[in-house]
Structure 1
Amino acid sequence: MFTQFRNIDTAFKHIKTFSIFLIIAAVCIACFSIYYNVRVIEKAGSRIYILYNGKVLEAVASDKKSNIPVELRDHIKTFHQLFFNLNPDDKAIRATVGRALYLADESAKKQYDNLRESGYYNNLISANIAKEVQLDSINLDIEQYPYKFTYYGTEKLVRSSSTVFRKLVTQGYIYDLKEQTDENPHGFIIRNWEILENQDLPPKQ
């Protein structure tokens, strides 16, 4: 009789062990299924289909972090183009510089006020000078936040009688606003911006 009880006890232990194994296996399969489905959904969500000229094209969406250096450089480039590309028209100057000020803090507004008070914009208008800036390079440090940058460009001032080139060097820091708007599509802002150098270059021979 004791042998029969031992056999029943042993059989119960085997059934218990087997049941625990089945439960663990079921939990593992369920977790893997959930993880796999989430990955599939994320992958499907990153695919974008575009209708172009009657054809369906597939594109892949990427998050902001993977494009930070590209977006930072474009933000810097756009700001400098808006701030320094000027036509000899006061209304146009106010409009373009006003758009640039959405991309930077009060340090840019201070530079603008100093230039206006010194008569810089009036001189451009009275002398009928059109000015544009060309990007040479951007030195950007993305290893530390806020992101420090140095902008190197060449200004071209076109007069009716001559064309003058200037070397332009500025620097500042970029902060992430975590929010994008129509006026600031990248969601960054330039702070502590200053002009390090803005001098005439020797005439080209």
Structure 2
Amino acid sequence: MIQNIEKKIKLALAISVGSFVTSLIIVGLTFVFAYSLVNEQRKNIYVLDHNVPVLVRQTEHGTNREVEYESHVNMFHLLFFTLPPDDEYIKNNLNKAMYLVDDTGLAQYNNLREKGYYNSILASSALLTIQTDSITVDENGHFTYYAKQRIERPTSIATRALITEGDLQDVSRTDNNPHGLIIKNWKTVLNKDLKYVEKKNF
């Protein structure tokens, strides 16, 4: 009788210890899985591409920095060259663009303003939009931007080829510069007419 009780006690103890150890293993595995899942999610970051969130992957060596390079260049050119006949909209876009470029961008803006470029857009009710063709960035951060610019006026539509180039430099990320990049030595390489079409008057 006593032996049966001792066996039952040992069995109960073995079951209790086994259950406790099993619970510890399950908790440990759950913790490891949860940690790895959270750590993996932290590698997912979103960047804004002209107010459109783009999911990119963060890695230890910044292998996806290329995505941000192209997005930054694209965002700057969209802001700088999208010009409707609206003075406040133009100023707002250009102010945003200036956070993404060094003084070479400001110099080009001032040059265009002094020549009356923006006033002529307002006076002629022109609508300027840009379509990105491609962006190349080399290992040193030097980029070349290829695009077509469409200039629509009440009487005509003109299409121009646009090529610019510059260098990208890492800076601190801010709300106004989410990619943490700045364009340096920016210049226009080509800006020529491709097509000119007069609108028909009915």
Q: TM-score, normalised by structure 1?
A: 0.69
**Residue 193 (structure 1) aligned with residue 186 (structure 2):** yes
Q: In 1, Cα distance between the equivalents of 2:143 and 2:120? A: 30
Match of 2:167 in 1: 173
Aligned partner (choices 143, 150, 172) of residue 144 of structure 2: 150
- Note the C-alpha offset of 1:43: 3.5
- Counterpart of 1:66, as a letter, is T
User: Runs ≥4 in structure 1, deviation > 6 angstroms?
Assistant: 39-42
Q: In 2, Cα distance between the equivalents of 1:181 and 1:107? A: 20
* Cα pair 1:88 1:124 within 8 Å, conserved: yes
Q: Which runs of 5+ in 2 are unaligned?
A: 1-31, 43-54, 198-202
Q: Secondary structure at the match of 2:63?
A: helix
Larger radius of gyration: 1
* Cα pair 2:151 2:159 within 8 Å, conserved: yes
Match of 2:9 in 1: none
- Counterpart of 2:99, as a letter, is Y
Q: Secondary structure at the match of 1:82?
A: helix
Q: Secondary structure at the match of 1:43?
A: helix
Sort the Cα spacing of 1:42 and 1:115 in 2 relative to 1 into closer, same or farther, 3 A.
farther
Q: In 2, Cα distance between the equivalents of 1:188 and 1:81? A: 16
Cα displacement string for residues 116-152 of structure 1 (whole angstroms, at most 9, x for unaligned residues): 00000011110000101100111210x22xx000101
Q: Give percent identity, aligned residues only.
A: 39
Match of 1:108 in 2: 105
* Cα pair 2:143 2:167 within 8 Å, conserved: yes
Query: Equivalent residues in 2 for 1:12-161 (5 A)?
Result: 43-48=36-41, 62-63=58-59, 65-141=62-138, 143-144=139-140, 147-161=141-155
Q: In 1, Cα distance between the equivalents of 2:90 and 2:196? A: 27
